[in-house]
Amino acid sequence: MSALRISLCVGLLLARYGHAAPELFESEKEQLTAADIESLPSEISHLFKSGSLSKRQASTRSCKVYPGDADWPTDQEWAALNQAVDGNLLKPHPRASVCYDGPYYDAAECSKISANWTNSYIHLEDPLEMFSPIYQGLTCMPPTVYDSKGCTPGGFPMYVINATTPKHVQAGVNFARNTGVRLVVKNTGHDFSGKSGGAESLSIWTRHFKDIEYIPGYEDEASGYSGAAFKTGTGVQAFEIYKAASEVGKVVVGGEGQTVGVMGGYIQGGGHSPLSPIYGTGADQALAFEVVTPDGEFLTADFTQNTDLFWALRGGGGSTFGVATSVTVKAYPDVPTTASKFSFNTSTIGNETFWAGVRAYFDYFLINADLGTYAYFVLLPNNPKQGVWTFQMTPFFAPNKTLAETEAILGPWLTQLDTLGIKVDPNITHYDSFYPAWVQSFPLETIQKVNSNYGSRLFPRANFEDEDLLNTTFANIRLSSERNLVIVGFNIKATSPDNPDNAVNPSWRENVLFAIQSVRWSVNATTEQIWEARNSHTHGDMQRWRDITPGAGSYLAESDRMEPDFQQAFWGDKYPRLLEIKKRYDPSDVFYAATAVGSEFWQVVTANTLPSENGRLCRVNATRT
């Protein structure tokens, strides 16, 4: 990561314009030019022109081009793309290919990655790997993790542009648009639905947009914001921006996960944060984006320029409206933070006592959310080998709260637990600033298991204001746990002081509990058994949660890929406007991602019934396969 820079020219900009649009990073000044295009072979150069649509792509096409098609790019055309991106076109192989006979076999490397396969860094540092391997198709896994019966690329892209400048992104977008090759985008690959995958596709990897610049004084008359800000590359991760902000006595809104690419799909998808109870969602913080649009143009979107695109980029989802190279976000004064981590289980208490303790906690959801705390808890189902249920608080996080204030907030519930005979050590710890509290409190996230899938729901205030509905809500969550589902919950309010007009799911504004439930199946389950488990989860257990939260929604980045009526679930009444913006900026559907805006018009044609990226992308009802 480049050294943190501090802008000192803001005062002059404000005096002249009243709107201090941050300067482009040095890397962003390298954009695709006419000279770049003219340097390519003349018979190919048209494939790299911005705003163009080649004849072979302009014709009616039912599917994205695929190897074996007459119009699949030639070796010469791929070579021209490599030239256009300064030699940064990769043709990588799956990470686990080192475990199988062939040119990449390496027993020592296979042993190393097999032992650490769930570690985030193995996957985010790789141009192909993603955190949701089931959507790759599980075609190349370490044998000790899953028997892939060999190694094939499956739902991984064929080519990857290791982008470090807008020029690289523009060349990739133009090439995909004009050839009809499927285009995908990967930052870190955290998305639960496998959005960074795509069989035989071209991927733009944005991980290495790592610049960070601190702007002490940012004024924006259009939005009314006046204060500190950071401009960061979209490859910047949570641990990087939190550390940079801490060094200048500031905080920014980012995820709880250490390695999440908080300036990429996270912020474009909304983004909840340990600081959301105070400052709102990640998308609420955006002041400006630098973005390459589907026509290959590089432009600024903010409160005064390209305002409709700016609205959509703040919550409308990644890999949809363009590829951002940087984003400018609000920064706030650092805050002291108090945190608590503890657990209890049924090993020493009865099941009903355990559930009484959990139910007592639900009574404090409204109070705690309104007090600005953020609780991250897990309910582990009855383990047949141990015969226990477990509740884990990992952690209870109280930004801008003293030790005494946090003790007072937790005290009533802890007293009830003690009365029930549930003994816990809350281990309440105070930190002078946010960053060390975050480092010590949140675990390193791991990739998803090969035999599980997730669904989520945003539970509104109404579910906790009415006693009968609260009892029904708790009973449904308990039932999910008793049905052997893992429950992850966030007691959180994500309402910013001004609730800016953006594309964030309106359900976030009423949220008190964001809950995820995970269904599991046998690692050796058949396709039919997996489909039955997933279908039952989507239309059974998740439907119970939908039924008791009518009109509410789900969180795009942590959701079920099979979510019914995903348009309403992820965006509510904002979807029609988002779709209109999508059609206007991307009329030829250069960008597609599962459950993204406009994705209902496309489908990945797979060899079986299970949803994945291991197949050809075709229009819905297309005859060509």
- Residue 479 belongs to domain with CATH number: 3.40.462.20
Q: What is the pLDDT of residue 121?
A: 94
Structure tokens at 196: 């960074």
* Position 452, amino acid: S
Residues 374 and 241 in one domain: no
Number of domains in the chain: 3
Domain annotation covers residue 612 = no
State residue 2's pLDDT score: 44
* Overall average pLDDT of the 297-319 stretch: 98
For residues 202 and 617, the answer to whether their CB atoms sit within 8 Å is no
Angle formed by the axes of helices 351-362 and 403-420, nearest 10°: 150
Q: Looking at the structure, tell me whether residues 126 and 180 fall in a common domain.
A: yes
Give pLDDT, residue 5.
57
Query: pLDDT confidence of 20, banded at 50, 70, 90?
Result: low
Residues 196, 138, single domain; the answer is: yes
Tell me how many helices (H) and strands (E) the chain has.
22, 21
Same domain (yes/no): 261, 158: no
Average confidence (pLDDT) over 60-83: 95
Q: How does pLDDT run across 367-381, given as a tens digit for each residue?
A: 999 999 999 999 999
**Are 503 and 523 in a shared domain?**
yes
Helix 467-482 / helix 351-362 crossing angle, nearest 10 deg? 140
Determine the Cα angle at 441 with ends 286 and 512, to 5°.
Answer: 60
Chain mean position to CA 163: 19
186 in a structural domain = yes
Q: Are residues 382 and 247 in the same domain?
A: no
Query: Is 105 in contact with 98 (CB distance < 8 Å)?
Result: yes
* CB neighbour class for 299 (10 Å; exposed up to 12, middle 13-18, buried from 19): middle
- Evaluate whether residue 577 is within a structural domain: no
Q: Which of 296, 290, 320, 374 is nearest to 503 (CA)?
A: 320
Terminal Cα-to-Cα distance of the chain (whole angstroms)? 44
Let me know if residue 243 belongs to a domain: yes
Cis bond leading into 395, ω under 30°?
yes
Last residue of a domain, one of 333, 353, 376: 333
Same domain, 144 and 94: yes
φ, ψ for residue 536 (rounded to 5)? -65, -35
Q: Greatest CA separation found in the chain?
A: 81
The answer to whether the CB of 489 falls within 8 A of the CB of 377 is: yes
> Which residues span the domain enclosing 460?
337-572
Residue 55 — pLDDT band, cuts 50, 70, 90? low
Residue 434 lies in a domain: yes
CB within 8 Å of 595: residues ≥ 6 apart: 193, 556, 559, 561, 563, 566, 570
Instruction: Assess contact for 4 and 243: CB atoms under 8 A.
Output: no
Do 490 and 471 have their domain in common? yes
Taking only the tens place, the pLDDT of each residue in 547-604 is 999 999 999 999 999 999 999 999 999 999 999 999 999 999 999 999 999 999 999 9
**Scanning the structure block, which residue is given the tokens 């039919």?**
528
- Only one residue has tokens 């579910």, namely 463
> Cβ–Cβ contacts within 10 Å for residue 498, how many?
11
The beta-strand segments (E) located in 129-254 are 159-162, 183-186, 202-205, 212-220, 225-233, 250-251
Task: Report the alpha-carbon distance of residue 80 to residue 556 in Å, rounded.
Answer: 36
Q: Does 215 share its domain with 180?
A: no
What rounded mean pLDDT belongs to the chain? 94
Residues 194 and 257 in one domain: no
Indicate the pLDDT class of residue 56, thresholds 50, 70 and 90.
Answer: low
Of the residues 165, 189, 205, which one is the last residue of a structural domain?
A: 205
Q: Within this chain, do residues 231 and 297 fall inside the same structural domain, yes or no?
A: yes
Is this prediction's pTM over 0.75?
Answer: yes
Q: Quick one: average pLDDT of 404-420? A: 99
Dist. CA 525–CA 206, nearest whole Å:
36
Counting residues of the chain whose pLDDT is more than 90, the rounded percentage is 91
Q: Which amino acid is located at 349 in the chain? A: I
Structural domain ending residue among the three candidates 163, 178, 205: 205
Closest CA to 150 of 197, 92, 111, 102: 102
Query: Residue 383: pLDDT band by 50, 70, 90 thresholds?
Result: confident
User: Is 316 a member of any domain?
Assistant: yes
Q: Output the CA–CA distances (angstroms, integers) from residue 114 to 95, 120, 141, 386, 441, in the order listed.
A: 10, 13, 9, 27, 27
- Sign of the Cα torsion 437, 439, 440, 441 reads positive
Contact in structure between 278 and 400 (CB atoms under 8 Å):
yes
Average pLDDT over residues 144-162: 97
Whether residue 586 lies inside any domain: the answer is no
Both 22 and 123 in a single domain? Answer: no
User: Binning pLDDT at 50, 70 and 90, where does residue 4 land?
Assistant: low
List Cβ neighbours of 88 (8 Å cut-off, separation of 6 or more). 82, 161, 162, 163, 164, 168
Q: Is residue 589 part of a domain?
A: no
Question: 354: which residues sit within 8 A by CB, 6+ positions away?
Answer: 344, 345, 346, 389, 391, 422
Q: The CATH number of the domain where 222 resides is what?
A: 3.30.465.10
